Amino acid sequence: MELLKERILKDGTIEEGNILKVDSFLNHQLDISLLNEIGKEFRRRFPEKIDKILTIETSGIGIAAIAAQYFNTPVVYARKIDSKNLEKDVYETKVYSYTKGKEYTVKVGKKYLNKEEKILVIDDFLANGKALEGLIDIISQAGASLVGAGIVIEKGFQEGGQDLRNKGIKIESLAIIESLSDGRVIFK
């Protein structure tokens, strides 16, 4: 998606440890016009019947909420923390975060994912794929059906996307980064 790539080149910054920061439009400040274009592009790439969009807190929520308008579906966001306000009756799975260097639990209330529903996963980043694998596990526990995953930015130099595609999962990433070396973003 050219508009997105141009924006990454213009406003993205690269921090120590090959971390691409897109806080000015995707992660901390949200450019709602851009998110609408992203939502339209996800719809174009996933013309299939979709019953529900599943994402994961925190940074997936704004993207998924705007995109859902083009699918006419609700959004469910998986929660990473124990919260007093969350259902006791949940599907849960463990996810290892390389960014945070620890394992955490991801939960979705059972009543929000139903058998045979067609689920599109949307998230901001795909790198090692652990969060996405966790969501896929939860979808499977629910007996729902994964249509695919719409990702805004994939780190193509990490193995997550390729591993999941090799398992037959449809993954559509709007910008795939081949390299972040020397402080420059190179797209695939």
Determine which helix (DSSP H) or strand (DSSP E) holds 61, and give its type and residue range.
helix 60-68
User: Would you count residue 66 as binding a copy of itself (CB under 8 A)?
Assistant: yes
DSSP label of 143:
T
User: Would you count residue 94 as binding a copy of itself (CB under 8 A)?
Assistant: no
Asked whether residue 131 is marked as a ligand-binding residue, the answer is yes
Applying CB under 8 A, among 19, 114, 143, 188 the residue interacting with a copy of itself is 19
Exposure string (b/e) for 147-182, b if CB count within 10 Å is 16 or more? bbbbbbbbbbebebbeebeeeebebbbbbbbeebee
Burial class (CB in 10 A: 0-12, 13-18, 19+), 84: exposed
CA 75 to mean position of chain CA atoms: 12
Whichever of 75 and 147 has its CB closer to a copy of itself, that residue is: 75
Q: Are strands 186-187 and 171-179 parallel, antiparallel or unpaired?
A: antiparallel
User: Would you count residue 84 as binding a copy of itself (CB under 8 A)?
Assistant: yes
Q: Considering only residues 23-62, where is the footprint of a copy of itself by CB under 8 A?
A: 23-24, 27-32, 35-36, 57-58, 61-62
Minimum distance between the CB of residue 114 and a copy of itself, rounded to whole angstroms?
11
Asked whether residue 67 is marked as a ligand-binding residue, the answer is no
Whichever of 17 and 183 has its CB closer to a copy of itself, that residue is: 17
Which tokens belong to 161?
């996307």
Asked whether residue 128 is marked as a ligand-binding residue, the answer is yes
Determine which helix (DSSP H) or strand (DSSP E) holds 98, and give its type and residue range.
none
> Which residue type is seen at 124?
D
Whichever of 62 and 92 has its CB closer to a copy of itself, that residue is: 62
User: Would you count residue 141 as binding a copy of itself (CB under 8 A)?
Assistant: no
> Which residue type is seen at 43?
R
Whichever of 12 and 148 has its CB closer to a copy of itself, that residue is: 12
Asked whether residue 27 is marked as a ligand-binding residue, the answer is yes
Sites of contact with a copy of itself (CB under 8 A)? 15, 17, 19, 21, 23-24, 27-32, 35-36, 57-58, 61-62, 64-66, 68-69, 72-77, 79, 84-87, 99-100, 108-109, 111-112
